[in-house]
Amino acid sequence: MLDSSTPEALPLAGLRVLDFSQFLAGPSCALRLADLGADVVKVERPDGGDLCRGLVLADQTFEGDSALFHTINRRKRSFAADLKAPADLARVKALIAGADVMIHNFRPGVMERIGLDAASAMALNPRLVYAAVTGYGEEGPWRDKPGQDLLVQSLSGLAWLGGDAHADGSGPPVPAGVSMIDVITGAHLVQGILAALLRRGVTGRGGRVDVSLLESALDLQFEPFTAFLNGDGSQPARTAENHASVHGAAPYGIYRTRDGFMAVAMTPMDKLAQLIGSDALAALAADRGGWFRNRDALKQQLQQDLLAQDSAHWLAILEPAGVWCADVLRWPQLTAHPAFAALGMTQTIRSASGATMQTTRCPIRIDGRRLYSAEGAPRLGADTEAIAREYGLPSSPSSSFAP
């Protein structure tokens, strides 16, 4: 496997991207474009910059900003500008005139008030791909609600899908342990941008790409949501045992073993009963048409059976027989495993001062090469004057920010 940190060799080398976005969804899109070779200029307000610089997780900071900020904004450059100051706004418009892509995630109406809405920006640069993230779209009663991951997981029904129903149906909603809606929305925006750039290569004109957290959350649920749309209109019932899918038949779920947990995916219940040597499970599984209808009873019996042995015991029996199953690992176990080492999924990034921190690499491989970059996130405004010189912009006191 070849590795690469050479931007000239990457598919998006030479592409100019302006990233006005904050927090996760928009910046994660811009990060992926940067990973693929684009020159991403992060346009930030001089007073504080991206609010994510102060969003500290696990009490971890790096070079005065949150470690999260450095993870999601590595390999970008920072241009400080006050969009409410006429001189700075003129400089930013000059950047837009020379850019290929512009990304923002302001609430609906904000860019219109500033004068950087899609129509205005594309009037400056007809080849521009204008990409925007909103929480709930440009219209409707939720358009002005805060577009935040946990809130969208809750409103979209995704949080409800998590967790067990409990015997009395009282199981609480359980959100995902990661900001999955932000990340998938950023990925959708990347897809739209690349499609618009391909069209521009044919027609010479840019275009507008819009995504929303809510639409991405619904798309993420397409399997169960499609079943709901084509059903009787009632909320699907969560299983009371080992919940993993509202529409999954037994044994689909995660089970406790004598020393931990293991996952069991799609497999014939009668085959599973035979392999683990359970007469009680075999009797329940004899009704092949009832593996969904009777899934709670089947899962309860399977759970009772699997508690008799360690995970390794069951995996040694089930995996060679072709059963789709896996250990449930925590991060210390995962990172110590040879399978994790084979991925080369981590990298060291370095700040301008030489400080280092560990994070993930781009998960995409190009021409068989993993994509690494040691360049960390920029200090606020660190590249303002260098970028201004590249674009031939006049200097501006309000944006010539020296960190």
Q: What are the extents of the domains in the chain?
A: 2-220+345-391, 261-327
Residue 182 a catalytic site member: yes
10-residue stretch averages of pLDDT, the chain, 403 residues long: 58 97 97 97 96 92 92 96 96 97 96 97 98 95 94 92 68 89 98 98 98 96 91 80 78 94 94 97 95 93 97 97 95 94 95 92 93 93 95 68 41
Rounded distance, CA 20 to CA 42, Å?
6
* Distance between CA atoms of residues 181 and 102, nearest Å: 21
- Please, which residues bridge with residue 350 across strands? 356, 375
Q: What is the CATH number of domain 2-220+345-391?
A: 3.40.50.10540
Residue type, 50: D
> Which pLDDT does position 254 carry in this prediction?
92
User: What pLDDT, on the 0 to 100 scale, is given for residue 1?
Assistant: 34
**Residues β-bridged to residue 208:** 130
Burial class of residue 373, CB neighbours in 10 A (0-12, 13-18, 19+): buried
Q: Which of 35, 50, 149, 182 is catalytic?
A: 182
* Alpha-carbon distances, residue 49 vs 84, 99, 324 (angstroms): 14, 21, 47
Q: Which candidate, 212, 322, 184, places its Cα nearest to that of 264?
A: 322
pLDDT for the residue 17: 98
- Going by C-alpha positions, the residue among 321, 312, 378, 313 that lies closest to residue 75 is 378
Can you give the pLDDT at residue 245?
Answer: 78
Q: What is the per-residue pLDDT for 54?
A: 93
Phi/psi of residue 340, each to 5°? -70, -45
* pLDDT (0 to 100) of residue 84: 95
Q: What is the pLDDT of residue 400?
A: 44
